[in-house]
Amino acid sequence: MTKQRRISMTTRKELTEAVGARYRTSPRSERQKILDEFVALTGCHRKHAIRTLNREPADAHEAAPRNSVYDEAVRQALIMLWEAGDLVCGRRLKALIPVLIDAMDRHGHLALDPAVKDKLLQVSAATIDRVLADTRSHIDGQRKRRTGVGSAIRRSIPVRTFADWRGPPPGFFEIDRVEHTCGPKTNGDYLHTLVLTDIASGWTECVSMRQRNQVLVIQALDKAADDLPFPMLGVDSDNGSAFMNQDVFDYCKAH
């Protein structure tokens, strides 16, 4: 038993390949004897041994590549969704995927195979970041690494996506800027609109800004707060420097 177990644990693959090749090329009269020897050496059930010895080994150079759960079709679709979501992090994109798929499919921008769609809806935030790591590195490599006060502020503010909301009262807003350009962008200032959308009600306020400026962001927040029919309780923005800076941070903390 000890010898048979040692053989089956350490050399089963080599033994199967060698005996299998001889088994498949031998005449029927000799196969019985080969099968008896193989069963005695490995302890396999006879029917299992027959199936094993009859199986052609996969050529190492011709073997099909491992079908990863997140294969190339899923990766390409994930990149497209990530770009449509403004290059957000994995956690934010995870929450956005169902909405993005529905919207892009409805408007004819994305047609997914059902199997690919199912995988995208099941992918975890950690896997999203892992799959997108190479694509993200090519973009991040062209950007200067953010340091200083803005970087510290970003680290101090927790990430929250719309999937984290659990029936909040009116007053919590998702905010973003819209830059108004016409044609190719050139150097200089452009008009902006600060858009605030209430999570609970969908109430939207739009405040014009003559340029991208953190002081103007504070003024726009003040104006929106004065115009609202309910108190402004909180704002959630992206991590752009117009929002993630000491002035806006202090304003929000004070209010």
pLDDT digits (tens, 9 = 90+) for 2-22: 344 444 444 567 777 878 888
Quickly state the pLDDT bin for 41 (edges 50, 70, 90): confident
> 109 is in which domain, residue-wise?
72-140
User: Is the residue at 227 inside a domain?
Assistant: yes
Q: Are residues 98 and 164 in the same domain?
A: no
**Tokens linked to 206:** 């739009």
pLDDT (0 to 100) of residue 60: 42
Query: Is the model more confident about 188 or about 59?
Result: 188
Asked if 55 contacts 20 with a C-beta cutoff of 8 angstroms, the reply is yes
φ and ψ of 174, to 5 deg? -85, 130
**Mean pLDDT for the chain overall:** 80
Q: Are residues 165 and 240 in the same domain?
A: yes
User: Is the residue at 105 inside a domain?
Assistant: yes
Quickly state the pLDDT bin for 139 (edges 50, 70, 90): low
Q: Are residues 159 and 136 in the same domain?
A: no
pLDDT (0 to 100) of residue 217: 92
Q: Are residues 158 and 249 in the same domain?
A: yes
**Residue 108: left if φ>0, alpha if ψ -120 to 50, beta else—which one?**
left
Burial of 218 (0-12, 13-18, 19+ CB in 10 A): middle
User: Is the residue at 15 inside a domain?
Assistant: yes
The Cα–Cα gap between 230 and 252 comes to 17
**Tokens linked to 156:** 């101090």
pLDDT (0 to 100) of residue 69: 56
DSSP string, 86-101: TS--HHHHHHHHHHHH
The Cα–Cα gap between 46 and 16 comes to 14
Q: Are residues 174 and 107 in the same domain?
A: no
Contacts of 119 (CB under 8 A, 6+ apart): 69, 70, 74
Instruction: Count other C-beta atoms under 10 Å from residue 248's C-beta.
Output: 20
Asked if 132 contacts 79 with a C-beta cutoff of 8 angstroms, the reply is yes
Angle at 186 between CA 182 and CA 188, to 5 degrees: 100
What global pTM score does this model have? Answer: 0.46
User: Is the residue at 31 inside a domain?
Assistant: yes
User: Is the residue at 63 inside a domain?
Assistant: no
Per-residue DSSP letter, 203: -
Per-residue DSSP letter, 162: G
Contacts of 138 (CB under 8 A, 6+ apart): none
First to last CA, the chain: 78
Strand runs (DSSP E) across the chain, as ranges? 172-179, 192-198, 204-209, 234-236
pLDDT (0 to 100) of residue 64: 46
CA dihedral 112, 116, 117, 121 (to 10 degrees): -150
The Cα–Cα gap between 248 and 196 comes to 15
The Cα–Cα gap between 177 and 175 comes to 7
User: Is the residue at 146 inside a domain?
Assistant: no
The domain tally of the chain equals 3
Q: Are residues 188 and 245 in the same domain?
A: yes
Is 244 in a helix, a strand, or coil?
coil
Is 209 in a helix, a strand, or coil?
strand
User: Is the residue at 148 inside a domain?
Assistant: no
